[in-house]
A and B are shown apart, each in its own frame.
Chain A
Amino acid sequence: MLLEFQDIHKTYPGGRPVLNGVSLSLDQGQTLALTGESGSGKSTLLNLAATLDRFDSGEILLDGTALSRLGDADRAALRRTHVALVFQQFNLIPSLTVGQNLSFHARLAGRHDPDWEAHLTGRLGLSDLLDRHPESLSGGQQQRVAIGRALAVRPKLLLADEPTGNLDETASATVLDLMLALVAETGAALLLVTHSHAIAARLDRQAHLTNGRIA
């Protein structure tokens, strides 16, 4: 078991409960689509898995490590080495070039592999864009860079939050195809948050969140 949510509860200060006892697991190499209405807690669950946020009760095990016991530094280390993220807004670093963005996470993790990056660059169709800055790229191109950055680190777990939400239909299909193919190639597990049933249908498993619980 690579990722396991055990009865997770989460309430934002002053708000209603967002996660109300979520239990879910994901094996190595498996892909899981997480669907649900707006505000159902999909992104919150993803952020908890990414160690970006803390839960109130329950436990999350990531590759055997209980996240509730980790301090800031250990959580940051886990993000560097085990987890990679792809966001809807791409969240590339605007001051770095495409090439630098691609290798950034891998180099942070100490896993810089020029051959693997060159392979990814070719597969993602970014070879001609390496010296450009993200602001000069289209949305589809930026998301391909974000996927490349995430996979360059060879993560055990790839977390993607509406990765095609900002793209048109054609770009969306291209990006999703590439991501799924490369995830399969790396053997990483994928937890993908989406509104789209069509996209969810292309993954191994689906889970639906309603009112903070898995339906």
Chain B
Amino acid sequence: MIGTVLQALWSHWRWHRVQLATLLTGIALATGLWSAVQAINAEARASYDRANLQLGLGQLDELIHPSGRIPLETYVALRRSGWQVAAVLDGRFDAGGRSVRLMGVDMVTYPALPALTDTQGNPPDPAIVLTAPGRLFAPPDLAAQLAADPDLPPIIASTALPPGLVLTDIGTAETLLDLSGSLTRLLVLPEQPRAIPPLDQVAPDLRRQAPEGRIDTARLTDSFHLNLSAFGLLSFAVGLFIVHGTVGLAFAQRRGMFRTLRALGVPLVTLSQLVLAELVVFALLGGALGLVLGHLLAGALLPDVAATLRGLYGAPVQGQLHLRLEWVAAGLAMAVGGTLLASGQALWRLARLPLLSAPGVQAWRGKSGHRASAISGGLVCAAGVAAFAMFDGLVAGFVLLGGVLTGSALVLPLLLSVTLGFFARRAKKPVTQWLWADMQAQLPGLSLALMALLLALAANIGVGTMVSSFRLTFLGWLDQRLVSELYVTAENSEQGRRIEAWLEPRADAVLPIRNVELAHETGPLFLYGIVDHPTYRENWPLIAAAPNVWDTVRQRQGILINEQLARRADLWPGDRLTLAPGNTLTVAGVYSDYGNPTGQAIVAMDLFDEIAPEADNRRFGVRIDPARAEQLAEALRAQFDLGPGAVVPQAAVKAQSRAIFEKTFVVTSALNVLTLGVAGFAIFTSLLTLWTQRLPQIAPVWALGLTRSRLAALELLRSLVLATLAACLALPLGLLLALILLEVINVQAFGWRLPMFLFPSDWMQLFILTAIAALLAAALPAWRLRRVPPADLLRVFANER
């Protein structure tokens, strides 16, 4: 019996091959976009884990100093008292115009060393690693780059190192970083003697930090990955609309077959189980296709994501994609789960199908269905708002976003029905009246596709507005932040002093840029010192300031903090911030600091020098007549034999910042376009699957004197009008989405709030794109109608059916 029933069920799909292709495509698209995002996220997280594991981080406690530097004497005292700690000196150095992270470790005590220096069976001789000039270990690509620099010690390539990191002995690191006599942190090794004195006795200035208390790469980039996941989920939902529509139609068309099978003695349970099995098989097939699609897509997007994460967060991510078994399993599970979710209504109807009702293709739902949908939409919206009101954080922000989007989509059919009814009542000509009424009648069949279109358009408008607002603000901000005509980086502090002295008489102003990493309860805090100069007073992008802000800073009474720190620690002008014991300052102002995930603060230079006397003095901003900037740069390079990367014109710094910015949104823009494409496909499939039902509705109108050409043109117009109406409703929803993204999501995810700008020309472009998509979606059904043989239309009137 089962074989026979399966044969009957399969015969439907054999007869409706386009419908089957649509179903599989819907599942594949939904799974594909979602899986692509998950593959990217998994790859990035695996890279972070690998890096942590390789470096021995993530498992060991650390000892840190509030100033960011641990005196060598403290380390020695700890070792003498029995503490088993491994010294680490972290920093960045410039090599070949590129800033490279250098990690100097005590080669004798560092726990992860054997694994890190694994050079494929040829372990280096410890003697040459520890004695001058030492050796640098680097990943193969970086090793090849660094090998060209004659000033560096010999390089050894190691595949075990995370990308972008150079490892060396602490002595070599001191020389390269020009930091002698201090350490960045100490790793507390697992094996400690029983009777060691407490930390506060040996080194009272140090603080012990557990791995979970640190802001690591994974935590910093969480927001970025959550953003990607949210867009993946949106694409998944839009894909499921296609699945829901197709399965619904297939079930409606097979209602007669189901009744016949039941009448012939197939138990309802057996029938339901077989239909369920059929859906699972399709879900697995579509899911497998989706995984192939997702893998290709992720492979195409990963290099941009990796560049973004490296540029924005300094996070080490490899640009290569690996196929992971758990990713395949999760993708197939999503495909099956999503398909069953999208088919739930149809399965429920099958389970309750009465044996003795006349078969029909589509039940007339009308306004009562729209009302029920709208009420559900209102409730979903309200749930999103309530969740946001009750809980804080990024997830609550996304729940609000999801609630508003889903709720609005559910309200759409009623809004469209009311709008179409309004136009139908005002239509004077019979064809126009029929067209409006026909559109209204088609809504139950098309509403899911239109909901998908509404979501895709709203996401496009919302994300587009957010990105464009961000771009506009960011470019203005760059102009404020990067005012100096030249940016100079010396090889070490000594050279820095000589460069400064050389520049003084030749430039309008030399502005030192000195910074140190401190520890704060909210995470790493980078403290900068600045000199009092109109460059800052006139340009610095303050978003909140106390009166006489610059004077307060100059008089060492005030501190400026970036927006991220202000929001994270809830510090605003007038509040007090403790930098180090005995150094508590009043917040004088808050400045915007886009693209920086960590906290930052600025104090007067002389105060900075007291807090961090050993900080580098290698970087400067140089103010000069822009016309003379290039000439001065050339002279400076010649005088000090500096590489091109050591003296950078303002325009180059801005271009680099812009490039990082643009890459940041490459992925979201790509997902945006793909989501719109899926929505266009949803309309196409809906129109195509509704085609079989169209003939009985169109044939009478044809019989009353409308030509097939005109009816075909009206089909195109119908699709265009419905898409345009959806687009008009998507506009306010998209702007609301942008507002939530700018006011809630960005603030939670990145720690900054942006002003919102409107871009009507972008909307026009999107509307034109939507119109083209709608016309393309309706083109095939319209063409079919134009070419439908009259015999097919006549069959509608045949008495013997």
Contacts and interface: CB of A to CB of B under 8 A. Distances in A.
Contacts of A89: 796-797, 799, 801
Nearest to B433: A100
B13 interface: no
B707 A72 contact: yes
Interface string B776-801: 00000000000000110110111111
Interface in B690-730: 696-697, 699-710
B252 to A, nearest CB: 16
A102 B797 CA distance: 19
Nearest to A77: B705
Given A93-B697, A95-B697, A104-B434, A161 B797 contact: yes
B488 to A, nearest CB: 74
A100 B799 contact: no
A52 B796 CA distance: 12
Interface stretch (A20-28, A105-113, A201-209): A105-113
B438 interface: yes
B696 to A, nearest CB: 8
Interface size class of A (residues with CB under 8 A): 35 or more
Contact of A95 (B441, B703, B794): B441
A44 to B, nearest CB: 9
A54 B700 CA distance: 18
B365 to A, nearest CB: 12
A108 B430 contact: yes
Contacts of B442: 95
Contacts of B794: 47, 52-53
Given A76-B707, A80-B704, A108-B705, A95 B797 contact: no
B431 interface: yes
Given A72-B709, A108-B704, A43 B790 contact: no
Interface in A153-177: 161-162, 165
Interface in A167-204: none
Contacts of B800: 38
A108 B710 CA distance: 13
B437 interface: yes
Interface in A36-53: 38, 43, 47, 50, 52-53
Nearest to A92: B700
A212 B706 CA distance: 30
A85 B703 contact: yes
Chain B, interface residues (CB within 8 Å), range: 35 or more
Interface string A1-15: 000000000001000
B13 to A, nearest CB: 27
B440 interface: yes
Nearest to B793: A52
Given A89-B797, A95-B440, A104-B430, A12 B791 contact: yes
A107 B800 CA distance: 31
Contacts of A94: 364, 441, 697
B713 to A, nearest CB: 13
Interface in B561-612: none
Contact of B703 (A38, A43, A79): A79
Interface string B432-450: 0110011011100000000
A73 B697 CA distance: 20
Contacts of A80: 704-705
Nearest to B800: A38
A77 B705 CA distance: 6
Contacts of B429: 107
A171 to B, nearest CB: 17
Contacts of B790: 52-54
A79 B704 contact: yes
A17 B210 CA distance: 92
A63 interface: no
B796 A95 contact: no
A96 B697 CA distance: 11
B11 to A, nearest CB: 23
Contact of B705 (A38, A87, A96, A109): A109
A100 B440 CA distance: 15
Contact of A103 (B430, B437, B441): B430
A91 interface: yes
A50 B430 contact: no
Contacts of A107: 429-430
A52 B703 contact: yes
A93 B433 contact: no
B704 A104 contact: yes
Contacts of B431: 108
B800 to A, nearest CB: 7
Given A38-B800, A43-B798, A53-B794, A91 B434 contact: no
Contacts of B440: 95
Contacts of A161: 797, 799
A87 B441 contact: no
B700 A135 contact: no
Contacts of B437: 93, 95-96, 100
Contacts of A87: 797
A135 B360 CA distance: 13
Contacts of A12: 791
A93 B700 contact: yes
Contacts of A72: 707-709
A210 interface: no
A80 B710 CA distance: 14
Given A104-B430, A107-B430, A135-B364, A53 B704 contact: no
A30 interface: no
Nearest to A146: B700
Contacts of A88: 797, 799
A95 B424 CA distance: 11
Nearest to B440: A95
Interface in B201-253: none
B782 to A, nearest CB: 16
B791 A76 contact: no
Contacts of A162: 799
Nearest first, the 4 closest Cβ-Cβ pairs linking A and B are: A80-B705, A95-B441, A107-B430, A95-B437
Given A53-B790, A91-B797, 12 more contacts: A43-B797, A76-B710, A79-B703, A80-B704, A80-B705, A93-B437, A93-B700, A93-B701, A96-B433, A96-B437, A108-B431, A108-B705
5 contacts: A91-B703, A103-B430, A109-B705, A161-B797, A165-B799
